[in-house]
Amino acid sequence: MSIAACLLTPSPLSSPNSLTITPKFPTTFPLHLHLRLSSSATCLRHSRSSPFLTFCAGGDGGDINSNNNSGGGGGNDENGKHRGGDDENAGDKNRKEAMIVLAEAGRSTESLPKDLAAAIQAGRIPGSVIERFLGLEKSGLMRWLMQFGGFKERLLADDLFLAKVAMECGVGIFTKTAAEYERRRENFFKELEIVFADVVMAIIADFMLVYLPAPTVSLRPPLAVSAGAISKFFYSCPDNAFQVALPGTSYSLLQRLGAVMRNGAKLFAVGTTSSLVGTAITNALINARKAVDKTSAAEVENVPILSTSVAYGVYMAVSSNLRYQVLAGVIEQRILEPLLHQHKLMLSAICFAVRTGNTFLGSLLWVDYARLVGIQKAHEEDAAA
């Protein structure tokens, strides 16, 4: 039936040459009813599986459009990770999984830390993360450590994180001392002050080398709207450039490169500070040795504080940063953990071996680098001079 036949009827003819058309319904009849009657054919087409028509038929189509258009930008404002409608579906799935895990454990979101509860409501973390949290909470030590946001984010991403910290710091003194001996051999005791400085710097930095590049489950609240573009960008970057993204989360290549840059800046600060402490202690020991043994006053020289500190900061930002990012994000999270996730003891043993080798390699590279840039000299060169 045509639109004219539905809405209009002819009125009596006032003259043979004129035809007046008047509405069939009163003119006060609501306009939207006219529109619905006239679009009956269009309503039938809404049932077709067309993305455009489905989008248009939505009751809040404008909001959906706004969300889709702001999927990338909104992610940059908050965490730069959620993209589009697929991520919204993943967020709903994450939320349902987390609530099921809580229900099975007889827990509610009110019993969880506020940042974790907020992440559940936002659909940013799946049920597996909640299972790990509930398991870690059974340990008094882990429960205490998870009071600190940084530890909580890293433990939720890797339940062996604390064991890896212990491995790194435990083998640090041994491996670095062994590497110093390998490079210096018979001059080891003659250059003992320099060896001591290297070991002190390494032990101070070991913890941060594990902590900063470790993969995390982000529980940080959104940035303020007034935050600058640079702050928003680095906020959206992962803590490890190679870490596996959670469901509903994605990282661009630029964001992963940003993770390398951000951690490099942090490790430069850590390396420079630790070197200042280490070289200051070393110079104090050298001066004490000179005061006791007058014959060594000409043999032993103070370690240059500023140049050594800056050089060590650069070394940490480049060599250590890249090695530990690859170690934590590729070798451990992407290779070893998927293969051995059900064999924690074997996984821990292999991680221990890999981290020990990496620490020893780092010590060798530092000695060569220090001599290359001229902040340390071999004892034979000093003797020849």
* 191-247 pLDDT, tens digit each: 777 787 777 777 777 889 999 999 999 998 888 888 899 999 999 999 999 999 998
What integer best gives the mean pLDDT of the chain? 77
Each residue of 110-167: pLDDT tens digit? 999 999 999 999 999 999 999 999 999 999 999 999 999 999 999 999 999 999 999 9
47 φ/ψ angles, rounded to the nearest 5 degrees: -80, -5
Does residue 86 have a pLDDT over 70? Answer: no
Residue identified by tokens 């509930």 is 134
Smallest CA-to-CA distance from 136 within 147, 126, 123 is with 147
Q: Which among 16-20, 57-61, 172-176, 235-239 has the top mean pLDDT?
A: 235-239
State pTM to two decimals: 0.69
**In this predicted structure, what is the pLDDT of residue 278?**
77
CB 38, CB 3: distance < 8 Å: yes
Query: Which residue ranges make up each domain of the chain?
Result: 89-156, 160-371
* Secondary structure (H, E, C), the chain: CCHHHHHEEECCCCCCCCCCEEECCCCCCCHHHHHHHHCHHHHHHCCCCCHHHHHHHCCCHHHHHHHHHCHHHHHHHHCCCCCHHHHHHHHHHHHHHHHHHHHHHCCCHHHCCHHHHHHHHCCCCCHHHHHHHHHHCCCHHHHHHCCCHHHHHHHHHCCCHHHHHHHHHHHHHHHHHHHHHHHHHHHCCCCHHHHHHHHHHHHHHHHHHHHCCCCCCCCCCCCCCCCCHHHHHHHHCCCCCCCCCCCCCCCCHHHHHHHHHHHHHHHHHHHHHHHHHHHHHHHHHHHHHHHHCHHHCCCCCCCCHHHHHHHHHHHHHHHHHHHHHHHHHHHHHHHHHHHHCCCHHHHHHHHHHHHHHHHHHHHHHHHHHHHHHCCCCCHHHHHHC
pLDDT given for residue 264 in this prediction: 96
- The span from the CA of 197 to the CA of 77, in Å, is 44
